[in-house]
Homo-oligomer: A and B are copies of this chain.
Amino acid sequence: MKLPLWFLLVALAAVGGTSLGAAERNVVLFVTDDQSPDMGCYGNDTIQTPHLDALAADGVRFNHAFCTTASCSASRSVILTGIYNHANAQFGHEHSYHHFRTYDHIKSLPVLMAAAGYRTARIGKYHVGPEAVYHFEKTLPGDSRNAVQMANNCREFLSDDDKRPFFLYFCTSDPHRSGGEVPGDPYKPNPFGNKPNGYPGVTPIKYDPDKIRVHSFLPDTPTCRHELAQYYQSVSRIDQGMGRLVALLKESGHYDDTMILFTADHGIAFPGGKTTLYEGGMRIPLLVRQPYGEAQDTQCNALVNLADLTPTILDFAGALPKKHDRQGRSFLAALQEESPAGWDEVYASHTFHEITMYYPMRVVRDRQLKLIWNLAHQLPYPFASDLWAAPTWQDRYKQGPDTYYGPRTVHQYIHRPKFELYDIQADPDEAKNLIEDPQYADQIAAMKKKIKAFQAKTKDPWILKWDYE
């Protein structure tokens, strides 16, 4: 294994007694809300994300990063613990009557970072609980729809002359759907947080619906294009926030000693994305910009998921014991290679979104195949309130159950089989379920075994459904 440059620098510093040391290993974890990898650096030439692209050019872009569950609270609990949500008890939403709560005994990332000598702060979206489990020393104020303002509000924290290194958890509410509809637009798209008068410090970047690249799992309709134009605008607002944050890191003198991770809790807020474990829900952006000019403008083909973030960050901070209780793995060493060995498989596990939306799914996915187990397949697939109301969905739904919504009909989308097997390479939109194809029988049997082993290893209560029902 190639030793990372920062390691050598820190080692040298330790020997030489210069000022370089633990204090120089700061961390910014930037998490957006319901965003698929729609950015210039992921090959989209319409959307404008120059600052995110610059970050990618200065770091590592993951080509195969996934969430473990495409639901906000559940996924964030995985991000901040490195433990699957079926094992940390954040089975679904934290807020309001959903009222899911992580186990009190779990030590989360901010708590472990604080114990490792870091000062910690969070800003923006939170959506996990209880607070004692996910405690940050500071909660910075800011409009979570205005990442530029949020960045400005971090200025003092970033430039504080506190001797401890910092851990900043920066979460936008963009590009989540918001309330209402875009005034004057005949297709009545959701505004995705965009406002007629914009946001202070943000330059609104508007998109021509005709020039949008419609995701192949979505219906290429005018309504969808108008919705995606709003979503793009929301993403560009995030981009400006990242630009401002990087500028402030540079101003504070910390750009060169800070690891910046950029990702999303899960995919885009459209049926077929969010709440599903289809690729539209699972695929997320992940950029890791390492300090000291490590691995600039590289790609990494490792299959990683959000359970890996906490161990990776702890590893970077020198706070990951060799034997640890996290279910994810540190990919810190893998950052040095384009195609590191041993990263060819990911798992996903979804149980609830809203408390009324019981729909447990367990998934194993390798580079070619993906097996989805829908444990409550007898139920109609439940809809998050924002996805049910989505004009793109309603437009298709109202045309009847045989209408196509992306690769499958409305009826097929709502009524799913117990198992789904897809050849992701040949069929990236997961249109053709191969579960009955005898050619795959051995692979299916092996993948079911893998799911069960994963459940046993990660203490999944739903493992009992193999034997009962």
Contact = CB atoms under 8 A, between A and B. Distances in A.
A380 B97 contact: no
A356 B462 CA distance: 6
> How many chain copies does the complex carry?
2
Interface of A: 89, 91, 97, 99, 101, 103, 354-356, 358, 376, 378-380, 382-383, 388, 459, 461-462, 464-465, 468-469
A461 B356 contact: yes
A376 B358 contact: yes
Q: Closest 3 A-B residue pairs measured CB to CB? A: A378-B378, A358-B358, A89-B99
12 contacts: A91-B355, A97-B459, A97-B461, A99-B103, A356-B461, A356-B462, A356-B464, A376-B376, A380-B469, A382-B468, A382-B469, A383-B468
A461 B354 CA distance: 10
Contacts of A378: 378-380
A203 B88 CA distance: 45
Contacts of A356: 461-462, 464-465
Nearest to A462: B356
A88 to B, nearest CB: 10
Nearest to A467: B388
A52 B99 CA distance: 39
B380 A379 contact: no
Contact of A376 (B101, B379, B383): B379
A354 to B, nearest CB: 8
A461 B93 CA distance: 13
Given A354-B461, A378-B379, A379-B379, 17 more contacts: A89-B97, A91-B99, A97-B459, A101-B101, A355-B461, A356-B461, A356-B462, A356-B464, A358-B376, A376-B379, A378-B378, A378-B380, A379-B469, A380-B469, A382-B469, A383-B468, A388-B468
